[in-house]
Amino acid sequence: MPDFDGKWLREASKAEKIFEECHKKGTVLVAYHVNLSTTVPLQEDQVKLALTHLYRKVPCLRVCFGEREGTLWFREATNKNVDFKVLPETEVNEVMACLKSYQYNSDTGPLWCARLVADTSSGQCEQTTSMVDNTSTGHSGQASPHIPDDNLVSLPHSYHLFLGFHHGIIDGFSAIKICGFTATLLNDVITGKPINDDQLGEFVSCKETMELVLAKKALIKGDPLLMKKWTDEANLRKDKELFFSRIYQKPEGTEENCLALERQLDTTTTRKFLNKCRAERVTVHSAFTALADAALVELLAEKGVVQDTYNIYNYHAVSTRRYWKGDVSKSLGCHVSIIRMYTDTPRNINEIFWDFARSVHQELQSKLTSGTALEEEAFDLLKSELKDTLKFVADSPTSFVSPDYYTTNMGDVTALVTEEDNVRVTCIMRSVSNRNTMCTCSHIFHTFRGRFLHLLDYNTRFMSTEIAENFCNKIFDNLSKVIE
């Protein structure tokens, strides 16, 4: 297996540097909650051995940071020990909160950790006929229950596996792949199957993305109209007031926190939602964005912010791998950018919902196809806005304007987590902390094993639990209505 020799690998990218700054402030950290069902009770040494193999076989997990000639670089981790603990079931609802503010050792690694909690209550969970609605108002979010499944009779033992990551080493694609690797390696350990030294993927730099960004930069620089377009949009952001700031002011003296609310649709409701989206010729992402806009409009009107049209500002995470050439299935690391959108949302949106959803779909698809996210990065380079971007983690940034909400959608991730004979992943929920940032809230969603799973990470600087619950309730109430 590869040695942990601390050798220098490459300079960190702009995004990776930003995520390390965020990590220092205990924010923008990634936490995954994986429900496992197994044929036999798990032993601590089995799980630790599987995670040790994971550490050795996944290159992006085997890195740390170091400063080289005044610049932040990646190097091989020198700490060979897996950061793993088995915790009592009484602590299950606190783990996500811990991982979302965890301090990793950036100088030695590892920049990830794992926690295991046995689940003795899974047999008591009952599925509703239309929608599983797990709403949490706690700091960490209540642990996701196992959903009953007739195919799991032969896997009677249930566990919560929590994986925490420094965002600088992974994005959603990499983390989901790691969840799948973990299940496979755990299955191999249980069966006694020999595990080789082959690497599971590659820790890829952003070189290919930067080549595309630099080409966009030259394009903008040589086109005065295109430069004016991006300059005007940047100026527009400076004048944008957050809608959530208009309906909520955090009480003085209260601690700022990142809380979470969770929703899970059952298979029947998920299937109806997916089929309706296909029939209306929109993606699930576009439909959900339209539902979030509709819910925000309703919420604002109830709070006295009444307008004919609401200009809603949102960010959509996008993997830059989509713009690369060749096979990207083994390309691990952090390769994420954003698409910014301003959506003029009418007060009567619910009366024209699918027409509105189609307009959102058309704009999103146009931006995805044209590589708008790359153009935005190119414009940032032209304006030398790295220092302004780093103000994202400051207490009171003046030049960074947050959107009304973020979205991060992985689509159907079932195929990325293979089924094993002795280990079955039954649910995956993901979360990213946003405390001590100017982020209002993030809609994090994907489909897994036929169920649509959603988590709202919300920053108590901008949203109370009451508003967050109301926001989510409206989204899913409207979802039930528009799929009938």
In 327-482, alpha helices (H): 353-370, 372-382, 386-390, 465-482
Pairing of strands 71-76, 112-119: unpaired
Task: Give the tens place of pLDDT for each residue, 230-264.
Answer: 988 888 777 778 899 999 998 888 888 999 999 99
Q: What is the mean pLDDT of residues 312-317?
A: 95
* Residue 150 pLDDT: 47
The CATH architecture assigned to 216-325+335-415+436-482 reads 2-Layer Sandwich (3.30)
Bridge partners, residue 367, by sequence: none
* Residue 149 pLDDT: 52
Q: Is 279 exposed, middle or buried (0-12, 13-18, 19+ CB in 10 A)?
A: exposed
Print burial letters for 121-160: b (CB count within 10 Å at least 16), e (below 16).
ebeeeebeeebbebbbeebbbbbbbbbeeeebeebebbbb
Q: What is the mean pLDDT of residues 362-386?
A: 88
Task: Give the tens place of pLDDT for each residue, 110-169.
Answer: 999 999 999 987 543 333 324 544 444 333 445 555 454 545 568 999 999 999 999 999
Q: What is the mean pLDDT of residues 43-63?
A: 97
- Name the residue with higher pLDDT: 200 or 252: 200
Pairing of strands 63-68, 30-38: unpaired
What span, in angstroms and rounded, lies between the C-alpha atoms of 43 and 65? 33
* Residue 253 pLDDT: 85
32-36, 178-182, 273-277, 388-392: lowest mean pLDDT where?
Answer: 388-392
Residues 6+ apart with CB under 8 A from 369: none
Q: Is 67 exposed, middle or buried (0-12, 13-18, 19+ CB in 10 A)?
A: exposed
Please measure the distance between the N-terminal and C-terminal CA atoms of the chain and give it in whole angstroms.
55
1-5, 231-235, 329-333, 400-404: lowest mean pLDDT where?
Answer: 1-5
Q: Which two tokens stand for residue 133?
A: 């609605």
Pick one of 3.30.559.10, 2.60.40.1840, 3.30.360.10, 3.40.50.300 as the CATH number of 8-203.
3.30.559.10
Confidence of residue 460 (pLDDT cuts 50, 70, 90): very high
CA 370, 376, 379 angle in degrees (round to 5)? 125
Q: How much of the chain is in helix, strand and coil states, percent to nearest 5? A: 40, 25, 35
Average model confidence (pLDDT) across the chain? 90
* Residue 239 pLDDT: 72
Task: Give the tens place of pLDDT for each residue, 261-290.
Answer: 999 999 999 999 999 999 999 999 999 999
* Residue 138 pLDDT: 39
* Residue 391 pLDDT: 44
The pTM (predicted TM-score) of the whole model is: 0.92
* Residue 252 pLDDT: 87
For the chain, the domains span 8-203, 216-325+335-415+436-482
* Residue 401 pLDDT: 63
Confidence of residue 6 (pLDDT cuts 50, 70, 90): confident
